[in-house]
Amino acid sequence: DKIVPDQQSTLHKKEQVAEMFNNIAGKYDFLNRFLSGGIDIIWRKKAIQQLKALQPQTILDVATGTADVALMTYARLKPQKIIGIDISEGMLNLGKQKIEKAGLSNNIILQQGDSEHIDFEDNSFDAITVSFGVRNFENLLKGLREMHRVLKPGGKIVILEFSKPRWKPFQMIYNLYLSIIAPAFAQLFSKNKKAYKYLNNSVRAFPEGKQFLTIMHEAGFTQTYLKPLSLGICTIYCGSK
């Protein structure tokens, strides 16, 4: 069968992203904590907090990676079930080990899955979480539409993603950090400077703030709002169905 170029490149990029995360999986948690000075834990907790009032029982954690958010969500909200999906087997394997160690294998289930073709029926989940995932999607709108499809009416999505600080002096320091310092540390600890160069480029290229909320609307979400964190390095985006 002939593959149209568009499909071919989609496949290619997705495989590249999965391979990149497979390669850094072993160092991913350490580098996250180290490069963020541990602040990423506070960001994740603040994101999960957005679901507290809803008391969701079934949660889908998209691009779950090593399952940090899935584990924290379980600890804080005690839902019946969390399903985590990710395209990287290497990241999922580490996540599974962490879940097993926590004795939560019956409560948090990880499986390989693509955000742009979610293997669940319409209206399946009370809530969806995505932390530092949407930036990596091949087709952002398609991914958001899929998540909207599997969310139950009345359900809520919480997205945590990097953004760029607004305050000029801080912007300069942050740019320096992201473009030079973080890749250098990544090289030192994981021998994978490329992945952190990708981080820098993908943060720069990603739509953020109100522009991102507009895309969420386009995907079907309502009652959207955003909360910038840490001078705007990171933003929580929420929406309902």
Binding annotation for S-adenosyl-L-methionine = 66, 86, 114-115, 131
Sites for ligand SAM among residues 74-103 (CB under 6 A): 85-88, 91
From the CA atom positions of the chain, what is the Rg in Å? 17
d(CA 206, CA 183): 19
Report which of 171, 178, 159, 161 is spatially closest to residue 231, judged by C-alpha positions.
171
Decide whether 56 or 84 has the Cβ nearer to ligand SAM. 84
x/- track of binding to ligand SAM for residues 10-29 (CB under 6 A): -------xx--x--------
Is 71 a residue that touches ligand SAM (CB under 6 A)?
no
**Three-class secondary structure of residue 111 per DSSP:** strand
* Cβ proximity to ligand SAM, 50 vs 88, nearer residue: 88
Q: Is 65 in the site for ligand SAM (CB under 6 A)?
A: yes
CB-based contact 203:16 (threshold 8 Å): no
DSSP helix, strand, coil percent of the chain (3-state; round to 5): 55, 20, 25
Size of the site for ligand SAM (CB under 6 A): 21
Residue from 31, 47, 60, 69 in contact with ligand SAM (CB under 6 A): 69
Token pair recorded at residue 158: 């919480």
Q: Kindly state the tokens that stand for 28.
A: 């991913």
161 binds ligand SAM (CB under 6 A): no
Write the interaction track for ligand SAM spanning residues 113-142; mark x where CB under 6 A is met and - where it is not. -xxx--------------xxx--xx-----
Can you say which residues are annotated as belonging to the binding site? 66, 86, 114-115, 131
Task: In angstroms, give the least distance from the CB of 225 to ligand SAM.
Answer: 21
Tracing tokens 């599974």 back to the chain, one arrives at 96
Structure tokens of 214? Answer: 């507009």
* Among 16, 2, 127, CA closest to 73: 127
Which residue number, 21 or 237, has a Cβ lying nearer to ligand SAM? 21
In the numeric block, which tokens belong to residue 193?
Answer: 């400077």
Query: Which stretches of the chain bind ligand SAM, using CB under 6 A?
Result: 17-18, 21, 63-65, 68-69, 85-88, 91, 114-116, 131-133, 136-137
